[in-house]
Structure formats: C-alpha cells, structure tokens
Amino acid sequence: MSWVPLESNPEVMTKFLHEVGIPKKWGIIDVYGVDPDLLAVIPRPTLALILLYPVTSKSDEFKNERESKVKEAGQDVSENVYYMKQCVPNACGTVALIHSVANNTDRIELNDGYFKSFLDSTKDLSPLERGQLLDESQGIIDTHTELAQEGQTEAPGEGAKVNHHFVAFVEKDGSLYELDGRQSIPINHGPSSPETFLEDAARACREYMARDPEEVRFTIVALAANE
C-alpha cells in the first residue's frame, strides 16, 4: 500500500525522529545552499545530508546508466553500510531518514522505540528484506502517517503521484555513500571523513544540480546536533 509522502520540512522530520526513538540532541535542519559560507553555519557534527530532487526522465536515465556502469566496473562498499530498498511508494522520506540514522548509530545512542526495534530486527537482512519489513512496521508507519499531515502544504493522498524523491548521503568507514532506495546498490562517491563529510556531500549535491541547471526544485536538509 502506498504511503502519504513526507514533506521536506525540518520540523516535521525532526518530530518524526524523536517520536521513533532518536535522542532530542539530534535533529533535521535546513541547508540553505552548498556554498562554503552557507555550509559554515550548519551545526557540527553533521551526520547526513538529505537531498530532495525532482524526478525527471533525465534524472532517471542518469541514475539507471550510472548503476549499470558501477555494477559492471565494481566498487568497494563497506560491510558496515546499512542499505535498504524502498518497497513502498511515497516512503522515500522515511527511507532517507532511516539511512541517515542507521549509518550513524556509533554516534547516535538510540532510545528504546520503534526505530531501535526496526534496526535490531533488520541488521542481518538483505536490502530487499529490510524494505519489505518496513511495510510491516506499524509503529513507524503510524508515525509517518501522522506527521505527513503536519507539513506546511496540504499532504497529497495515499497513492498520489509524487514527482520528487529523497536521497541520503552519509560517511561510513572513510567513504561518502549515496543511499537511494529506488536503486539496487549504494553508490560510493570516494574518500571522505567525519571532518570533511559536509563539504564532500555538498559537492555530490552540486553535481545533482549541475546535471539539470534549469531546474530549481532542489531542497537539502541535514541531520545534525541541535544543542
């Protein structure tokens, strides 16, 4: 069954995280641009960037071609990367939040709750099995549904065609990864570190924007310390 899409709204996304068990010291904040002076004001540590981009024939063509090339050439992916497929339409916002938190549990001490239970039950599963189990995780589903109604714009109904998609960027074991539940593999964007992560992820976001320079419907938020 399709979900009601989550708005790219830091207040709503932060509330979602806190309700499923992420400590209050972490939250989602707006990223107003990828220039160095705008990145400088983002609180540190910054653990993930989430990009909302418009889905077009051009973006889909690029992603499909890139995935084929990466599969053919091969890539190094840390066994510690937590990756899941998106099996439910319109769940991409929640999948991006899961990717953002699940790959930073060495720095986020999860409270008992829906999120910790989901990670504990999926840690040894395949990306596809993780995605399938999300559709059975009633606590996360109910929280998503509740907060999808709290955005600044009227939420579309279940099953509505949504022309935007969330993708998460995280640093894991010395590499920058792009995690997109619509693809079958994570994408390794090369070396990174906790200290350079924000700049490295912003560069990857700039590449998204450069591929479609006439398009302005990009939004970026960050998972960062909020106290």
- Please, what are the domains in the chain? 10-225 (3.40.532.10)
Q: What is the structure's pLDDT at 212? A: 76
Give the contacts of 106 (CB within 8 A, at least 6 positions apart). none
Alpha helices in 8-164 (DSSP H): 10-20, 36-39, 57-73, 92-102, 114-122, 127-134, 138-148
In whole angstroms, give the CA distance from residue 189 to residue 202.
12
In whole angstroms, give the CA distance from residue 59 to residue 74.
22
Q: What is the structure's pLDDT at 227? A: 64
Residue type, position 74, single letter: G
Residue 92 known to be catalytic: yes
Q: What is the structure's pLDDT at 55? A: 84
Residues of the chain with pLDDT under 70: 1-2, 151-162, 215-216, 227
Residue given tokens 């008992």 in the structure block: 112
Instruction: Give the SS3 label for residue 190.
Output: strand
Distances (CA, A) of 129 to 11, 103, 121: 30, 17, 11
- Alpha-carbon 150 to chain mean position: 19
Q: What is the structure's pLDDT at 1? A: 57
Residue given tokens 């970026």 in the structure block: 220
Residue 87 known to be catalytic: no
Per-position b or e across 19-55, b if 16+ CB within 10 A of its CB: bbbbeeebbbbebeebeeeebeebeeebbbbbbbbbe
Length, in residues, of the chain = 227
- Alpha-carbon 200 to chain mean position: 16
How far does the chain reach from its first CA to its final CA, in angstroms?
37
What is the phi/psi pair of residue 188, to 5°? -85, 115
Active-site choice (99, 144, 165, 189): 165
Q: What is the pLDDT of residues 149-164, one digit of tens each?
A: 875 444 444 444 557 8
CA angle in degrees (0–180, nearest 5) for 165-66-134: 40
Distances (CA, A) of 145 to 56, 93, 104: 26, 12, 25
Active-site choice (92, 99, 189, 205): 92
